[in-house]
Chains A and B, each alone.
Chain A
Amino acid sequence: MKNIILLTVDTLRKDSLGIYNDKENLTPFLDSLMNHSLVFTRFHSSGPYTQASFPGILTSSYYLEYGRPQKLSPRRVVISEALQKANITTAAFHSNPYLSDYFGWNRGWDVFYDSMQDEVSDMIPYVRGDQINQKVKSWLDRYIQTDSRKPFFLWTHYMDVHEPYVPKKQYLQLVDSSISMSEQEMFDLFKNTLLKRDTSNPQLVHLLHKLYRAGVRETDDYIKDFFNILQQNQVLENSIIIFTTDHGDEFGEHKGLSHDGKFYSELVDSPFMIIDFDQNQKKTCHNLVSNLDIAPTILHLFDIPPEEKFEGQSLLPIDRYQERGVFGEAIGKTGSHEKPTDLPVYYYRENNIKIIYYQDQERWEIYDLELDPAEQNNLIHSYPRAGELKEKLLPRVNRWENR
């Protein structure tokens, strides 16, 4: 049985990857894996920021399924818990405070590194990818020596793309050699423009996007190092790697910055691929799928029966997957933190039509993603099937309140 590795990059826009047609070669290493990859073209995040999306990825359940608690509900089953029960070693390495021990995400892991006991720099509130890799390496080196007969599930998550967008100098050079900024200048740009969600100056928004893209280029190198660690321990051939993100990032597409409570494609249209070195040509899958399908897929790959509480379905085998549209939900926040007064936002997509409901002001939007991929023309008053789509979304609104 193969090991399964879930490799996630926080805040990674789909359109920054060469595999999804970016032309600037930001991800040369990831792109080089293409011929061993099953690439999904219509994969969706169930939330536009960490807290809203990760319940989808690791617990195959929607963000607001159990109300609005701050911490992970004990009623959710984390994929690590299901695997640990099946005698699979589970290890996690990440640096996202929302997924830390404190918020309850340490359940089911034999090894859980969330970096919370380490010091971080004043500007960047997470540890960089090289430090994550170091932790993975020392765990894996030891694991291979002692326990190598037992399959493992490893989750590695990088934060380096995430704001405050302070990439290392050499990567900014690679992305745009005409930009020369000190770390302090980058940080000031973040504080004065991004934190204020100020999109009035398109040049500054463009500059933020450049810094973001340098972070993507930097992360591609961490991924390369990560694969080297796997190879040195001779587990690469014997592992399946699932690669994705929790959500994207906005650079003014819908008058905002960062990742707030919205459901447009720059935030929820996400990269997703399954890498297997036993496979030697690129495969593509156009099924309309959700990040809730990840945990069921992992169970399937480990040959473990489905978990009752998981709401998604296994993505494999591809031809057995039943499309049923994708949902997502979040709190309509603006800024890094949800306020108790912020109200929920919901979306549903089937085929190429997306419907969004903002509970605040009871506002509806409908977009035809084929004719209007930038989601600029709201069709709520003209789309003939608007009523039918609303019916599909409404049962999800505040559903926990009636339980």
Chain B
Amino acid sequence: MDKEKRNKDLIDKSKQVIREAFEKYDSSKCAITWTGGKDSTTDLWIIRQVCTEENIPLPQVITIDEGDAFPEITDFLVRISQKWHIDLKWLCNFDVLTACLSHLGNTVQVERLNKRNQEELKRIGFTEDSFVFEAESFAGNHLMKTVVLNEFLEESKTELLFMALRRDEQAARKEDEYFTPKEGGYLLPEHTRVSPILHFTERDIWDNTHLHNLPYCPLYKIGYRSLGARSSSNPGDIGVPAWEQDLENVPERAGRRQDKEKAMERLRKLGYM
């Protein structure tokens, strides 16, 4: 199929999902997550178009600072939010950063954290007195990412969260649906997540980026394919731009440490060590 035709179909599908979201939820009850990565930038770009077309105010855009961000990503977020006139909300768990003196690898004493952070650790079954601050470690990941997001959802009373997951990111996502309701619970606000670009492949993202001249973080140009925390992301083929790499045969997240952490977290829960 012709590249441009495919691109148009992909975008049309995303727009249809976004319109459906705005039919169900008022824009003021929605929020958009933006990491500065290629997927969420594409996602945000399409949502902005729908908002302009339908005359809907752009929902609150948020980004989560895990305390270990690439300066290139931070710079990209600042530059593009100015260019696109976006009032970006930075979320960060400053309590944890204070406890580890903003230094990766430092030990955080649990008793020095605020009550909410302590409660959250209890909630996920973490019972040790201290942990080493690393963004994608079990306790660190939860406090720096999940907790700040939960707190934001709760305070802003957000009901719908725009995400930028893609089905081809991992085999485990192949069966994902566009809308996923998240059950509420203790410290866990009930909400729905929607991923309008779920059907885009990694290749589609790059085709779209080039076709429409979307901005992207320069790290992709030097070989990174997937950007997480600085200390847990590694480039794929060093020096080869992401879009020129073997996207079809080498897993996108091969450079990230997250999968190991996920597995370890479940095993910990299984044995409640």
Q: In the docked arrangement, what's the CA distance between A102 and B271, Å?
A: 18
> Is the C-beta of A337 less than 8 angstroms from some C-beta in chain B?
yes
Task: Report whether A113 and B125 are in contact in the complex, using a CB–CB cutoff of 8 Å.
Answer: no
Q: In the docked arrangement, what's the CA distance between A97 and B267, Å?
A: 6
> Is the C-beta of A117 less than 8 angstroms from some C-beta in chain B?
yes
**Main SS class of interface, A:** loop
Question: Which chain B residues border A102 with CB–CB below 8 Å?
Answer: 259-260, 262-263
> Is the C-beta of B172 less than 8 angstroms from some C-beta in chain A?
yes
> Is the C-beta of A111 less than 8 angstroms from some C-beta in chain B?
yes
> Is the C-beta of B250 less than 8 angstroms from some C-beta in chain A?
no
B177 to chain A: closest residue by CB: A138
Q: In the docked arrangement, what's the CA distance between A169 and B222, Å?
A: 55
Write the nearest CB–CB distance from B11 to chain A, whole angstroms: 22
Task: Report whether B124 and A122 are in contact in the complex, using a CB–CB cutoff of 8 Å.
Answer: yes
Task: Report whether A191 and B272 are in contact in the complex, using a CB–CB cutoff of 8 Å.
Answer: yes
Chain A, range 99-129, C-beta contacts under 8 Å to B: 100-103, 106, 109, 111-122, 125-126
**Chain A interface residue count: which class?**
20 to 34
Task: Report whether B267 and A111 are in contact in the complex, using a CB–CB cutoff of 8 Å.
Answer: no
Task: Report whether B172 and A115 are in contact in the complex, using a CB–CB cutoff of 8 Å.
Answer: yes
Write the nearest CB–CB distance from B189 to chain A, whole angstroms: 13
Q: Which residue of B170, B174, B262, B271 is within 8 Å of A337 (Cβ)?
A: B271
**Main SS class of interface, B:** helix
Q: In the docked arrangement, what's the CA distance between A125 and B271, Å?
A: 10
Task: Report whether A114 and B269 are in contact in the complex, using a CB–CB cutoff of 8 Å.
Answer: no
> Is the C-beta of A20 less than 8 angstroms from some C-beta in chain B?
no
Q: In the docked arrangement, what's the CA distance between A117 and B269, Å?
A: 15
Question: Which chain A residues border B186 with CB–CB below 8 Å?
Answer: 122
Task: Report whether A117 and B125 are in contact in the complex, using a CB–CB cutoff of 8 Å.
Answer: no
Q: In the docked arrangement, what's the CA distance between A80 and B117, Å?
A: 43
Task: Report whether B269 and A125 are in contact in the complex, using a CB–CB cutoff of 8 Å.
Answer: yes
> Is the C-beta of B54 less than 8 angstroms from some C-beta in chain A?
no
Write the nearest CB–CB distance from B233 to chain A, whole angstroms: 17
Known contacts A114-B172, A125-B266, A191-B272; can you find 16 more A-B pairs with CB under 8 A? A97-B263, A97-B270, A100-B262, A101-B259, A109-B171, A111-B171, A111-B174, A111-B175, A116-B172, A118-B172, A119-B182, A122-B269, A125-B269, A135-B175, A195-B271, A337-B267
14 contacts between A and B (CB under 8 A): A100-B262, A101-B171, A101-B263, A113-B172, A116-B172, A116-B259, A116-B262, A116-B263, A117-B262, A119-B182, A122-B124, A125-B269, A191-B272, A336-B272
